[in-house]
Amino acid sequence: MKEKQTCLQSASAQTAIKRKNPLAQLIDRLYVLFDDKKVRYGVLAVAVAALIYLPINSSMYITEVMTTFWFNVVVCLGLNIIVGFAGLLSLGYAAFFAVGAYTTGILILHYGISFWLTLPVSVVMAIIAGLAIGAPTLKLRSDYLAIVTLGFGEIIRLAARNMEITGRATGLVGISRPSFFGIAMLRIDHFYYSFLVLAILAIFVSYRLQDSRLGRAWKCIREDEDAAEAMGINVVAVRLLAFIIGSVFGALAGSFMAIKMTAISPESFLFTQSVMILLAVVLGGMGKIPGVILGAFVVVIFPEVFRGIGMYRMLIFGVVLLALMIYRPQGLWPERNT
């Protein structure tokens, strides 16, 4: 009986696959293939080995671009928790990694604290920032929430521009780079591996959250907030947790960015940064972790591939994005066939 049921499910899945477009068919077949644990772990092992080997046999330019990509993966996954999982529109996400970057920069420059000890402080400051933006806006929805988060992002940037401890408009310069088990983090490949590990951790945590009870509560709120509240979900607390966890992702990425760049300024956290992160999440597919990673890849790689045509590359980028939003509003990554 069990074998018959499995055969029927497989036949149904194959029929559904045939009705989809070629890209969706390919993704569905990959999903079916990856259901086998041996295949999944084998492919992941090969992928990790290739990513570890990449800086050894690549130019500094490629390593730099891929480092930027891993940074974007972390911040996009953080925003995906807020926008994709919980369905809350945020236009000021750059403020969260500004909090992490300035926390690390201030503690290193003004107090001589080791970088690794600044990370817990960055997490605490991110939680405070998440509470600061989440608590007053919990009852707001859609456009009103977006306007408040946009204002919060600008408040953080302008505060950094006018406070003495943040270096005002000049910012913080000369942030020292740390050592890891006696190895000074001076080369770009050191930061490539750092952001790669951070991205892997962010992907792992995102999947765990997605499959958790909290993740299911976020999905309920995203689909129908009133129905979720009627079912007994504490909407206020669950939405607040989305802001807090998403802000921690951004703050940790900002802390690592501060030591990579050795200098930060308010101009590093403009509104356009928040828009590009949101764009990657929407482009790949909100709430879909592989889609968010794909969106981050497109946003980072596309301008680099077309760098040779100068300013026109952003025009082409905008046209392509407009076409994608018209013909693929659900994002580049198709939904899994169920």
334, 28 in Cβ contact below 8 A?
A: yes
Give yes or no for a contact between 62 and 183, defined as CB atoms under 8 angstroms apart. no
Residue 13 lies in a domain: no
How high is the pLDDT of residue 337? 56
Reference 248, options 89, 79, 87; nearest CA is 79
Distance CA 136, CA 155 (A): 15
pLDDT at residue 333, rounded to an integer: 78
On whether residue 50 sits in a domain, the answer given is no
- pLDDT at site 321: 80
Q: What is the reported pLDDT for 70?
A: 95
Please report whether residue 304 resides in a domain.
yes
**Number of alpha carbons in the 13 Å side-chain half-sphere of residue 164:** 0
At residue 309, the pLDDT reads: 76
pLDDT in tens, the chain (338 residues): 444 444 444 444 444 444 555 666 666 676 666 666 677 778 788 888 888 888 888 889 999 999 999 999 999 999 999 999 988 888 889 999 899 999 999 999 999 999 999 999 999 999 998 888 877 777 776 678 888 888 888 899 999 999 999 999 889 999 999 998 888 888 899 999 999 999 999 999 999 999 899 999 999 988 888 888 888 888 888 988 998 999 999 999 999 999 999 999 998 888 888 889 998 998 888 888 988 999 999 899 888 887 777 777 778 878 888 888 788 778 887 666 55
For the stretch 39-43, contacts whose Cβ atoms lie closer than 8 Å and that sit 24 or more positions apart, written own/partner, are: none
CB 93 within 8 A of CB 265: no
Q: Residue 16: its pLDDT value, please?
A: 47
CATH code, 278: 1.10.3470
Residue 69 located in a structural domain: yes
Whole-structure pTM value: 0.87
Residue 2 inside a domain? The answer is no
Residue 195, pLDDT score: 95
Domain assignment present for residue 40? The answer is no
Q: How high is the pLDDT of residue 69?
A: 95
C-beta of residue 126 within 8 angstroms of C-beta of residue 251: yes
| The two structure tokens encoding residue 151 | 């204002």
Asked whether residue 307 is domain-assigned, the answer is: yes
Question: What is the DSSP-derived secondary structure letter of residue 264?
Answer: E
What was the pLDDT predicted at 324? Answer: 80
Q: Does residue 5 form part of some domain?
A: no
The total of structural domains in the chain comes to 1
**Assigned token pair, 177:** 């780079």
Rg over CA atoms, the chain: 21
Range of the domain at 116: 58-327
